[in-house]
Structure 1
Amino acid sequence: MSAQLADSTAPASEHEANLRAWMSAWFDHAVSVGFVRPPFVLKDEAAAKLEGYYSVGLTPSEGATAFFSKPH
């Protein structure tokens, strides 16, 4: 694999790497408690919502609960 190809597939930043890890833990939790079953396709709007949960400091389990709860 060329260095250029490796660089193009690497996370763009530490933030992105941390966000991807958080979303992976979010998905694992959502599956483990039955909120969702694979395969699950995350749309752009939902991903933005999850990034907001990550940015305000929710844990992946808190983010899953907030994401799948009914709005008031």
Structure 2
Amino acid sequence: MHVSILDPDALGLPEHELALRQWMLDWYDRAVTEGHIYSTYELDMPTAERLEAYFKVGLTPGDGVDALFGTLH
């Protein structure tokens, strides 16, 4: 049986945690598509915390990719 990470009853997670998971999946897909990371990428805790902060302030997953991998001016 396949369980969706977005099904709150299946995982028992609060809705905001499910939204964060979906945001991170969208961020990952965008980062792979743009060539910033490869499909074998393993997220470390400091980066996960940084991405969660981007989510909390309302950045889109695309903005999160730009913020993490963009060129500093």
TM over 0.5: yes
Point out 4+ residue stretches in structure 1 off by more than 2 angstroms: 69-72
- Please report the TM-score for the alignment, with normalisation by the length of structure 1: 0.80
Higher relative contact order, chain-length normalized (CA < 8 Å, sep 6+): 1
Q: Which residue of 1 aligns with 2:47?
A: 46
Q: Which has the higher helix share?
A: 1
The yes-or-no answer on 1:58 pairing with 2:65 is: no
The CA distance in 2 between the partners of 1:60 and 1:11, in whole Å, is 24
The CA distance in 2 between the partners of 1:58 and 1:68, in whole Å, is 14
The CA distance in 2 between the partners of 1:26 and 1:11, in whole Å, is 23
After superposition, what is the alpha-carbon deviation per residue over 1:39-62, rounded to whole angstroms, capped at 9, x for unaligned?
000011110000000000000000
Q: Which residue of 2 aligns with 1:18?
A: 19
The yes-or-no answer on 1:35 pairing with 2:62 is: no
Amino acid at match of 1:23: M
Give the CA deviation at 1:11. 4.9
Q: Identity of counterpart residues, as a percentage?
A: 41
RMSD: 1.9
Alignment of structure 1 residues 1-16 onto 2, 5 Å = 10-16=11-17
Give the CA deviation at 1:12. 2.4
When Rg is computed on C-alpha atoms for both structures, the one with the higher figure is 1
